[in-house]
């Protein structure tokens, strides 16, 4: 409640009290003047009136005086009330003016606050406007940059299109030139065949004359002379045929093999992956030789429990501070290695602890296999492989083939196949998938009977892989005849990955047998003096006797040796056959 409202309420209360007082006095006066005969005062007054009229006149005068005094008192009271009301009114007015001044001050403060708020709003609006202008300029700059990038990309696409068109024109010109070269080769072969026919007719006529001369001079029979003549003609024909074959082969190789060599070399060079040689034995280093006794345990109970639980043989010999773990299952060998390493670090080695650590190590190896499988899938870009195949794929992390890690071989093969498919204009996704999964059956070959190609194909069909991928897997070792381009490219990529230098290691016995057989094949040819197998069997040097073998016969020997090696032997990569014919003439000056 404000001061003005309080003053007004107080004034109203005083007025109410005044009105009530006046009313009370008026009622009392009326009651005094209008009393009946029964009232004692009335009876006294009547008695007084009866006694004397003078007393009545004096009583009336007294009542009038009392009424007059009461009226004067009421008027005085009214005047005092009015004075108080005026004072209250002036106080209320003063309070109202003070309230009005406070309200005016509040209004001014409100107006100032509103002015400040409007100024702040204007400042925020200007900041927002400037920010929006900056963002607009940034967006405009990004748009211009993107337009420039798009224009540059369009120009690049146009240049690439022009380059492709020019390459297509060059290929068309090369094809025309190749057709012309083939026609020239065909014409040359026809000319050589015609010349050969004429030469044969001339040699036949000459042979008839020689036959008569030989029969007359040497005393030979016709059959003997004919046999000798046929031998000479055969040698001459072989020389001519070798010359023709060598010419045609050189021309055809220069034109036909250039593209294939470029594709294979480019694919192999662009995939530069490392390979590590792994065996069936793992070495675990110990902190001291005393740990060997703790591994063996009392009466050998610890080592027997370890071998029984893990399936890994522990070999403890005189090697200082080291033990060997041997197992043909690489996953079990890795589990055993991790388990024994944890036991050595923990120091508590007993049968119950061995079982606990084995379970921990197996869980850890399973996690490592899954991680390796996911990393390999991410590296080759395959995202939709069935999750049930992932653990099987991860087990190949610990599987080797001729010292080459199988999972690394799969990644390398997928990259090579993808590059070859891209060079040939084929969609690389399916080819890379086929190449990446082609050796997945090696994870199951010790559990399921059959070759890894057929086992892998059946596994892929079981888990919903496409028939094209399954066929490429089962055909990559020609156990099933390849029928698709993907299968052929999978074979080629597998061969490139396995045959590159340093990729695989073979057993010493197989290596020695292959070298011996190469030397036997080359040494069995007539006129061969010495044979040298060089560069780990990738090159063969054949030394021939110059008096028995001429230049053309040397080419024939090289081709025959290479063909026989291809038919009889299995080897990684290629083998170069070089025939060396050297004639030395020495004289001594005295």
- Nearest CA to 260 out of 252, 562, 433, 244 is that of 252
Helix (H, G, I), strand (E, B) or coil at 173: helix
Which CA distances in Å does 434 have to 213, 381, 385, 407, 410? 71, 13, 12, 14, 10
Interval 123-141: pLDDT, tens: 888 888 888 888 888 888 8
pLDDT exceeds 60 at position 273: no
pLDDT exceeds 60 at position 257: no
The pLDDT, as a whole number, for residue 20 is 78
Specify whether the CB–CB gap between 56 and 41 falls below 8 A. Answer: no
The pLDDT, as a whole number, for residue 496 is 80
pLDDT exceeds 50 at position 111: yes
Bigger pLDDT: 84 vs 210? 84
Treating both helix axes as pointing N-terminal to C-terminal, what angle do 467-474 and 452-462 enclose, rounded to 10 degrees?
170
Specify whether the CB–CB gap between 464 and 433 falls below 8 A. Answer: no
- Nearest CA to 559 out of 533, 538, 578 is that of 578
Interval 288-331: pLDDT, tens: 888 888 888 888 888 888 888 888 888 888 778 888 888 877 88
Specify whether the CB–CB gap between 527 and 549 falls below 8 A. Answer: yes
The partner residues of 532 in beta bridges, in order of sequence, read 541
What is the pTM (predicted TM-score) of this model?
Answer: 0.43
State the Rg of the chain over Cα. 61
The pLDDT, as a whole number, for residue 588 is 80
Specify whether the CB–CB gap between 250 and 185 falls below 8 A. Answer: no
Interval 366-412: pLDDT, tens: 898 889 889 988 888 888 888 899 988 888 888 877 667 888 888 88
Which CA distances in Å does 452 have to 438, 447, 458, 464? 9, 11, 10, 18
- Above pLDDT 90, what percent of the chain? 4
- Nearest CA to 457 out of 399, 389, 356 is that of 389
């Amino acid at each position: 409640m404000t001061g003005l409202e309080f003053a007004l309420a107080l004034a109203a209360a005083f007025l109410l009290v005044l009105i009530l007082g006046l009313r009370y006095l008026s009622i009392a006066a009326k009651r005094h003047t209008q009393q009946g005969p029964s009232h004692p005062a009335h009876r006294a007054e009547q008695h007084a009136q009866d006694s004397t009229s003078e007393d009545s006149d004096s009583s009336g005068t007294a009542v009038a005086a009392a009424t007059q005094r009461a009226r004067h008192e009421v008027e005085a009271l009214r005047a005092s009330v009015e004075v108080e009301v005026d004072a209250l009114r002036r106080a209320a007015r003063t309070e109202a003016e003070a309230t009005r001044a406070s309200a005016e001050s509040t209004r001014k403060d409100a107006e100032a606050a509103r002015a400040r708020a409007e100024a702040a709003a204007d400042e925020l609006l200007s900041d927002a406007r400037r920010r929006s202008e900056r963002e607009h300029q940034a967006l405009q700059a990004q748009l211009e940059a993107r337009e420039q990038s798009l224009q540059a990309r369009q120009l690049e696409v146009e240049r690439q299109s022009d380059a492709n068109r020019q390459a297509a024109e060059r290929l068309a010109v090369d094809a025309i030139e190749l057709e012309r070269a083939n026609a020239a080769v065909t014409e040359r072969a026809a000319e050589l065949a015609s010349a050969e026919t004429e030469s044969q007719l001339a040699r036949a006529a000459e042979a008839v004359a020689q036959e008569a001369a030989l029969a007359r001079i040497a005393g030979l029979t016709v059959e003997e002379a004919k046999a000798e003549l046929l031998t000479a003609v055969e040698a001459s024909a072989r020389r001519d045929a070798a010359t023709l074959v060598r010419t045609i082969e050189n021309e055809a190789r220069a034109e036909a093999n250039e593209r294939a060599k470029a594709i294979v070399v480019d694919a192999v060079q662009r995939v530069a992956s490392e390979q590590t040689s792994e065996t069936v034995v793992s070495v675990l280093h110990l902190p001291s030789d005393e740990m060997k006794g703790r591994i063996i345990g009392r009466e050998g109970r610890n080592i027997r429990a370890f071998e029984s639980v893990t399936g890994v043989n522990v070999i403890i010999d005189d090697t200082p501070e080291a033990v060997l773990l041997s197992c043909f299952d690489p996953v079990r060998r890795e589990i055993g290695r991790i388990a024994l390493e944890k036991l050595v670090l923990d120091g508590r080695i007993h049968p119950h602890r061995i079982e606990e650590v084995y379970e921990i190590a197996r869980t850890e190896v399973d996690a490592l296999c899954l991680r390796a499988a996911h990393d390999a899938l991410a590296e080759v870009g395959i995202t939709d492989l069935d999750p049930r195949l992932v653990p099987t794929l991860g087990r190949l992390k610990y599987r080797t083939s001729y010292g080459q890690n199988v999972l690394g071989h799969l990644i390398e093969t997928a990259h090579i196949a993808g590059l070859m498919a891209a060079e040939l204009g084929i969609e690389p996704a399916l080819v890379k998938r086929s190449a990446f999964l082609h050796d997945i059956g090696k994870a199951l070959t010790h559990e399921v009977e059959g070759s890894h190609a057929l086992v892998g194909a059946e596994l892929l069909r079981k888990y919903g892989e496409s028939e094209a991928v399954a066929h490429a897997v089962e055909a990559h070792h020609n156990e099933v005849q390849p029928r698709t381009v993907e299968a052929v490219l999978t074979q080629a990529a597998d061969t490139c990955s396995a045959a590159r230098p340093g990729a695989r290691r073979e057993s010493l016995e197989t290596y020695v047998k292959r070298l011996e057989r190469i030397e036997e094949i080359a040494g069995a040819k007539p006129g061969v003096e010495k044979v040298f197998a060089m560069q780990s069997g990738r090159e063969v040097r054949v030394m021939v006797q110059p008096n028995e073998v001429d230049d053309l016969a040397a080419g024939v020997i090289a081709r025959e040796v290479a063909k026989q090696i291809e038919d009889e032997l299995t080897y990684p990569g290629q083998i170069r056959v070089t025939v060396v014919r050297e004639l030395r003439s020495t004289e001594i000056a005295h």
